[in-house]
Amino acid sequence: MPLPASFPAIGSTITAVGIPLERIETLVPTPGVDEVLIEVHASSLNPLERKLADINFLDRAIPSPLGFDAAGVVATVGPGVAEFSVGDRVMAMLDPTRDGCWADRSFGYALARTWLTVKIPDAMTVADAGMLPVAFLAAWEGLHGHVQPGDTVFIPGGGGGVGHLAIQIAANALDAGRVITSTGREESMALARDSGASDILDYREDHLTARVLDLTGGKGVDVVFDATYSEASFVQSARAVRPGGKWIVLGVGPGKTTRVAETQSPVDDILASKAASHINANVLRYFTDKAFAPAAIRQHLTDGLRHAVRWYEQGKVRPHAGVRVQGTVGDIDRALSALHSGRRTTGKASVLFGPAA
């Protein structure tokens, strides 16, 4: 079938307050060098989309279609692209400085860089593929090269979108000796347990630092990966790392959790007192910081997505859909608002697109 000239994308048309989202009639783009055009059948919700709708901290052009997880089929390829063909089933992380893929009662269309795109096997559903790229790469960035076989790892927020994948990566793929996590709801605890956590703490009742130290005989953990975006969690998890260990945080880190205000944080002093490392895992920097030249990052990110596929096929990593959202302006808007308000989804929020949505 011929490609449509345009499609009804979903995103923000204003810069200050991005909710409610709106329908944006958007031209179907033409891929350039090292690009493919994906007809998008599935995606997911990430905190990134809400933050961009609210404050547009990446200075994206307005109107601004959102949605940076993409799974579907290759609709056309750019000049010289040989590794992908029309009709290939693929998943990709889209460049968050460019247009996203969400669509209103239609398939979405989005350009993806070839090095952020991988073919998916028949065994992987398009819904699962749509939940993996952004969250998996965040967990990959935080754990790969840092967790060694036998390590004790603490991953707060183990029932969340990044957290449950991080537990699986650490426990099932990187051979951590013990994975400790914390969460608060029964369904989140069940997901953390199914994901491979050895010990699950209730952050509402347990004194986390004391409990983690107790579980490790007073030593602390070898590696912390904190993807909670919570200053209170940062302080507790920093106190749980062993002397000389690694404290890894997703995003910009302590004192900067809102992106619009900076506060004084004790985390660096806590880590310095233990000679522990402070490591920021921030996938967005690869798209915004010119110090990270594309040649230096392409293989790293491609390897991450290829591992996502390989570990999925091996049964080591599987995304969990806590809620399934229809691809409409209203449904996505409500689900994104719920995510932002603290009514957190266990695992990921899967979004499916198509004329019947």
Residues 113 and 234 in one domain: no
Q: How far apart are CA 109 and CA 99, in angstroms?
A: 10
Write out the E strands in the chain. Answer: 6-12, 22-27, 35-45, 64-65, 69-77, 89-93, 108-113, 117-119, 152-156, 178-183, 199-202, 221-226, 241-250, 277-281, 321-326, 348-352
Do 332 and 346 belong to one domain? yes
Contact yes or no for 49/67 (Cβ under 8 A): yes
Tell me if 302 is assigned to some domain: no
Q: Which two tokens stand for residue 188?
A: 């989140």
Collapsing DSSP states into helix, strand and coil, what is residue 264? coil
Is residue 146 located within the same domain as residue 246?
Answer: yes
Total of domains in the chain: 2
For residue 96, give the 3-state DSSP assignment: coil
Judge if 142 and 279 occupy the same domain: yes
* Residue 283 amino acid letter: V
* Local structure of 258: helix, strand or coil: coil
The residue among 228, 260, 283 that closes a domain is: 283
User: Quick check: 248 pLDDT over 90?
Assistant: yes
Q: Which residues of 299-338 are buried (b: 16+ CB within 10 A; e: fewer)?
A: ebbbebbebbbebbeeebbbbbbbeebbbbbebbbebbeb
Q: Which residue range is the domain that position 236 belongs to?
A: 136-283
CB-CB neighbours of 172 under 10 Å:
18
Instruction: Name the pTM for this structure.
Output: 0.95
- 86 inside domain: yes
CATH number at residue 79: 3.90.180.10
Contacts of 261 (CB under 8 A, 6+ apart): none
Residue 1: inside a domain: no
Q: Which residues pair with 152 in a beta bridge?
A: 178
Are residue 95 and residue 145 in the same domain, yes or no? no
Residues 143 and 125 in one domain: no
Confidence band (pLDDT; 50, 70, 90) for 8? very high
pLDDT, tens only, 41-64: 999 999 999 888 888 888 888 888
Tell me: do 128 and 180 sit in the same domain: no
Mean pLDDT along residues 219-237:
95
Q: What is the pLDDT of residue 260?
A: 67
Q: Of 238, 266, 283, which residue is a domain's last?
A: 283
Are 28 and 6 spatial neighbours (Cβ–Cβ below 8 Å)? yes
Residues of the chain above pLDDT 90, percent:
78
Q: Are residues 87 and 209 in the same domain?
A: no
Q: Same domain for 259 and 122?
A: no
The reply to whether 123 and 153 lie within a common domain is no
Residues 252-267, mean pLDDT to the nearest whole number: 82
What residues pair up with 74 in beta bridges, in sequence order? 38
Indicate the average pLDDT of the chain. 93
231-240 vs 208-215: helix crossing angle, rounded to 10? 30
Q: Is the pLDDT of residue 15 over 90?
A: no
Three-state DSSP class for 65?
strand
Of the candidates 261, 283, 305, which is a domain's last residue? 283
In a domain, 45, yes or no: yes
Average confidence (pLDDT) over 221-230: 95
In this prediction, residue 83 carries a pLDDT of 97
pLDDT of residue 344: 67
Are both 63 and 89 inside the same structural domain?
yes
Residues 124 and 173 occupy one common structural domain: no
Kindly state whether residue 85 falls inside one of the protein's structural domains: yes
Assigned domain for 297 exists:
no
CATH number for the domain spanning 244: value is 3.40.50.720
**Is 121 a member of any domain?**
yes
